[in-house]
Amino acid sequence: MKRDYYEVLGIDRSAPLDEIKKAYRRLAMQHHPDQNPGDKAAEEKFKEAAEAYGVLSDAEKRKAYDQFGHAGVGGAGGGQSFQFDPGQFTDFEDILGSFFGSGIFGGGQRRRSGRGEPGSDLQYTLRISFRDAVFGLENQQIEVPRLEGCDTCGGNGCAPGTSPQGCPQCRGTGQVAMRQGFFQMAMPCPRCEGRGNIIPSPCTTCRGQGRVQRRSTVTFRIPPGVDRGMRLRLVGQGEAGVGGGSRGDLYIICDVQEDPRYQRDGQDLHAKQEVPWPLLALGGRLKVETLYGDDHIKIEPGTPSDTVVKRPNAGVPRTRGGGRGDLYLHLRAAVPKTLSPEQESLARQMLDALQGDEDSPAAEAEEGLLAKVFGSNSKKKKKKN
Ligand SMILES: [Zn+2]
Ligand SMILES: [Zn+2]
């Protein structure tokens, strides 16, 4: 467990910056490795204070920390970086985890390559089965309709043999001056819409847009353990940019189907487990089904029917950090709908033994119910005993 940064520095949550600095200086002097040679505990305290100071002294990081705690500033890594790495090919996150994207799809994190307009991000909702979500999917393919660079003109929008020309109205600057009273303001050029160049003869394939709508096949992998609402980011698989702008990203949103046996709670699973009632009374071993094959559980004699048995590591794989969640089996006494004559006789002997005196008021009251459960001839048999 990581300690709260304010607690580490021993300051109030509303402490101003100079108080944060003062608190850090005091702790740093106290626990500095030079002052405490060979003292591991002091070294840890020193590091802890440095980390807390690193976050709380930075207004933006402090705000993120106040709002989301350690998760907001990089979780276990601690106050290093809390931006996604756009260089990564796929980046896994859940919707709640993407605090720092502006807008739902993180478009604010767009890498601007300096030139042109970046392509749009796309999203695709992928419905997958419960088991595929648990075990993952390799080589998953989807068809995505998206804007791609035009092959005819190479994306510049010009008919073959021609090229873009500097806009005569703004002389290639993309801006024109507008006079308003005493003030002069810069406005995007109306002729070239701020691009600075114009297309004298547009490419007929893309009508000068530089991009065409096309269906493309995208191949990707779903890692094991995804949950409903999680999204997979495929960097550069969104729409093509314009005029040298970077490509957008494609977000795959996982819509995981329900399973009849398992209810999911994060990476843990819950399932009902029927147990023959004599086994609950007598105790013994029971074969149970898990996602990873058959398992056996031990039933203690006299186990109540609402007991929960935990099977460690039989849950869903964690998408980060490795390992799996646990499986919780909620035991229920299995009562057979029909009984063979032999089973009925045994059950009755058992019941009689448990009930003791048949003529007690409790036994009388139960007789009507028994007749319903065991059929009309049960009364006759009962009388014979
Ligand atoms: Zn074209
Ligand atoms: Zn212009």
| Mean pLDDT value of segment 27-56 | 83
The pLDDT of residue 365: 53
Find the range with the poorest average confidence among 222-226, 348-352, 366-370, 378-382.
378-382
Higher pLDDT, 176 or 238: 238
How is the beta sheet containing 308-311 ordered, strand by strand?
A: 262-265, 268-276, 327-334, 308-311
Query: What is the CB neighbour count within 10 angstroms for residue 264?
Result: 19
The pLDDT of residue 93: 40
The span from the CA of 226 to the CA of 266, in Å, is 9
Q: Which ligand is nearest to the CA of 157?
A: 1
3-state helix, strand, coil in the chain (%, to 5): 30, 30, 45
Find the range with the poorest average confidence among 172-181, 247-256, 298-307.
172-181
**Parallel, antiparallel, or unpaired for β 165-166 and 268-276?**
unpaired
The pLDDT of residue 74: 62
pLDDT bucket at 355, cuts 50 / 70 / 90? confident
pLDDT digits (tens, 9 = 90+) for 199-210: 999 999 999 989
Q: Which amino acid is at 30?
A: Q
CA of 165 to the centre of ligand 2 (A): 10
Ordered structural domains, the chain, with CATH: 5-77 (1.10.287.110), 90-146+213-256 (2.60.260.20), 262-334 (2.60.260.20), 341-384 (no CATH)
CA of 164 to the centre of ligand 2 (A): 12
CA of 299 to the centre of ligand 2 (A): 81
The pLDDT of residue 113: 39
CA of 116 to the centre of ligand 1 (A): 16
Place of tokens 């520095």: 9
The span from the CA of 16 to the CA of 10, in Å, is 13
The predicted model scores a pTM of 0.56
| Mean pLDDT value of segment 308-328 | 92
CA of 191 to the centre of ligand 2 (A): 5
CA of 209 to the centre of ligand 1 (A): 7
Find the range with the poorest average confidence among 115-129, 184-198, 243-257.
184-198
Tell me how far the alpha carbon of residue 3 is from its chain's centroid: 25
CA of 166 to the centre of ligand 2 (A): 8
Q: Which two tokens stand for residue 373?
A: 């459960």
Q: What value does the mean pLDDT of the chain take?
A: 81
The pLDDT of residue 106: 34
Q: Which ligand is nearest to the CA of 152?
A: 1
Percent of the chain with pLDDT over 90: 44
